Structure 1
Amino acid sequence: MLKTLEEPQDFQENHVLFDRLSALDIAAFVVDGVDLSPGAAIPSDGDPRIDRALAGFLFTCGPDHIRHPEAIEGGAEGARYPLHGSLAGTAVSHMEMASDGAECTATIEVALADGGRARVERRWRIDAARHEVVLEDRVVNSGVTAFPPVMMYHLNIGGRLLGDETRIVSASLAGGESAWCFGTGESAHFCLPAAVGSDGWSEVTLADLAGLGGRNLKVRFRADTLPFLQMWRCQRGEANVISIEPVSHRIAKRPELAAAGELTPLQPGEARSYAIAFSVV
Structure 2
Amino acid sequence: MIMFSGPKGPRLALDEGSVFDVGACIVDGVDVAPGRAIPDDGDPRIDHSLEGFLFTCGPDHIRHREPIFGTDAAYPLHGSFSANPAHSIELSVEGEDLVARAVVDVALAAGGHAQLRRQWRLKGESGEVQLADTVVNVGEAPFPTFLMYHINLGAKHFDPGTRLEGAMLEGGGLPWAFGEGDGGIFCVPAGHGGWAEFRLGPMEAIGGKRLKVRFRTDTLPHLQVWRNQRLPAHVLGIEPVSHRWVGRNELEAAGEFDILQPGESREYGLAFSFV
Q: TM-score, normalised by structure 1?
A: 0.92
Residues 1:51 and 2:47 are matched in the alignment: yes
Task: Verify the 8 A CA contact 2:3 2:13 in the aligned structure 1.
Answer: no
- Cα deviation for residue 229 of structure 1 reads 0.6
Output aligned runs, 1:182-193, within 5 Å.
182-193=178-189
- Report what 1:121 is aligned to: 117
Runs of 4+ in 1 over 2 A off after TM superposition: 6-10, 127-131
Task: Verify the 8 A CA contact 1:19 1:25 in the aligned structure 2.
Answer: yes
Aligned residue identity for 1:72: I
Task: Verify the 8 A CA contact 1:15 1:30 in the aligned structure 2.
Answer: yes
Residues 1:19 and 2:15 are matched in the alignment: yes
Task: Verify the 8 A CA contact 2:59 2:135 in the aligned structure 1.
Answer: yes
- Cα deviation for residue 207 of structure 1 reads 1.8
Aligned residue identity for 1:260: A
Residues 1:41 and 2:37 are matched in the alignment: yes
Distance 1:263 1:45, change over 3 A: same
Measure the CA separation in 1 of the matches of 2:120 and 2:59: 18
Residues 1:214 and 2:211 are matched in the alignment: no
Task: Verify the 8 A CA contact 1:233 1:241 in the aligned structure 2.
Answer: yes
Residues 1:236 and 2:230 are matched in the alignment: yes
Q: TM-score, normalised by structure 2?
A: 0.94
Aligned residue identity for 1:162: F
Task: Verify the 8 A CA contact 2:4 2:14 in the aligned structure 1.
Answer: no
Residues 1:181 and 2:177 are matched in the alignment: yes
Measure the CA separation in 1 of the matches of 2:157 and 2:224: 20
- Cα deviation for residue 127 of structure 1 reads 2.6
Equivalent of 2:190 in 189, 194, 211: 194
- Report what 2:92 is aligned to: 98
Give the share of equivalent positions with the same residue, in percent.
50
Q: SS of the counterpart of 2:46?
A: helix
Q: Which runs of 5+ in 2 are unaligned?
A: none
Equivalent of 1:84 in 53, 62, 78: 78
Residues 1:141 and 2:107 are matched in the alignment: no
- Cα deviation for residue 9 of structure 1 reads 9.9
Residues 1:203 and 2:177 are matched in the alignment: no
- Report what 1:171 is aligned to: 167
- Cα deviation for residue 131 of structure 1 reads 2.9
CA-to-partner distance for each residue in 1:116-166, whole Å, 9 max, x for gaps? Answer: 100000000013344310000000000000001100000000011100000
Q: Which runs of 5+ in 1 are unaligned?
A: none
Measure the CA separation in 2 of the matches of 1:134 and 1:105: 12
Q: SS of the counterpart of 1:236?
A: coil
CA-to-partner distance for each residue in 1:82-120, whole Å, 9 max, x for gaps? Answer: 000000111112211115771000000010001110000
Measure the CA separation in 2 of the matches of 1:96 and 1:9: 15
C-alpha RMSD of matched pairs (Å): 1.9
Equivalent of 2:255 in 243, 254, 261: 261
- Cα deviation for residue 6 of structure 1 reads 5.1
Measure the CA separation in 2 of the matches of 1:7 and 1:150: 28
Measure the CA separation in 2 of the matches of 1:211 and 1:90: 33
